[in-house]
A = this chain, B = another copy of it.
Amino acid sequence: MALSEKAQATREKIIAAAAELFYRNGYHATGLDKVIRRAGVTKGNFYYHFPSKEALAIATLDWQYERFSTEIREQVLSRRGNALEALLNLLNYMAGRQKKQHEEGQILGCYFGNFALELSSVSPAVRDKVNAVFASYAELIEKLLRHARKKGLISESLDPGQLAPVILGQIEGAILLDKARHQPGNFDQSIEFIRNYLESS
């Protein structure tokens, strides 16, 4: 088990390096050699841990999902406030990430959205994984909307089940536009729009 811990650390080093490079340059534009050099690992070692580059991609998706989920849980959902505030805090938190990236040089977008567009028409495995991630986030939004509705924070006429994917799509689209524009702004505007819609329907 002592060795297994070291192996686990190696595995994570590879995933972390790959996630960074995939995020920055895209999947196809990132060679395996770059990944293993950055991870400080050899070819043989890589293929001991992963059967293929595609498997690595999926591992990074799982890893990022896990990281991002706990980040949200700790930084956003743990804060006190009602369900509607929690939802808006979540959106603002993500917008803040965008802005931070912009200050650091460039907006890299949504890790899952990037993979969705680059690979989902070419790799079913990646598509399924990305899809599961989106479904999970839509579910979170739906849950918050349901709570908000139950507490009377948003109108009874709003359908959380229908609204949640719309909001998720709005977010992904705003991130895409901000990445293309190389400047944040669409995201904030979308949040403002959603907030206004939810509060005045």
Complex contact B168–A169 (CB within 8 A): no
Q: How far in angstroms is the closest Cβ of chain B from A173?
A: 3
Distance of A199 Cα from B90 Cα, bound (Å): 28
A108 interface contact, C-beta 8 A: yes
* Main DSSP-derived SS at the A contact region: helix
Distance of A131 Cα from B197 Cα, bound (Å): 27
Distance of A26 Cα from B28 Cα, bound (Å): 9
Count chain B CB atoms within 10 A of each CB in A25, A28, A180 and give the residue with the most. A180
Distance of A196 Cα from B106 Cα, bound (Å): 35
Contacts of A172 in B (CB 8 A): 172-173, 176-177
A49 interface contact, C-beta 8 A: no
Complex contact B180–A165 (CB within 8 A): no
Distance of A119 Cα from B176 Cα, bound (Å): 12
Contacts of A193 in B (CB 8 A): 162-163, 166
Distance of A109 Cα from B55 Cα, bound (Å): 24
Distance of A181 Cα from B174 Cα, bound (Å): 19
Distance of A101 Cα from B125 Cα, bound (Å): 20
Contacts of A186 in B (CB 8 A): 165-166, 169
Q: How far in angstroms is the closest Cβ of chain B from A186?
A: 5
A182 interface contact, C-beta 8 A: yes
A177 touches which one: B26, B109, B119, B134 (CB < 8 A)? B134
- Give the nearest-CB partner of A185 in chain B: B165
A118 interface contact, C-beta 8 A: yes
Distance of A101 Cα from B121 Cα, bound (Å): 12
Q: How far in angstroms is the closest Cβ of chain B from A181?
A: 6
Given contacts A26-B28, A190-B166, contact A176 B122 (CB under 8 A): no
A189 interface contact, C-beta 8 A: yes
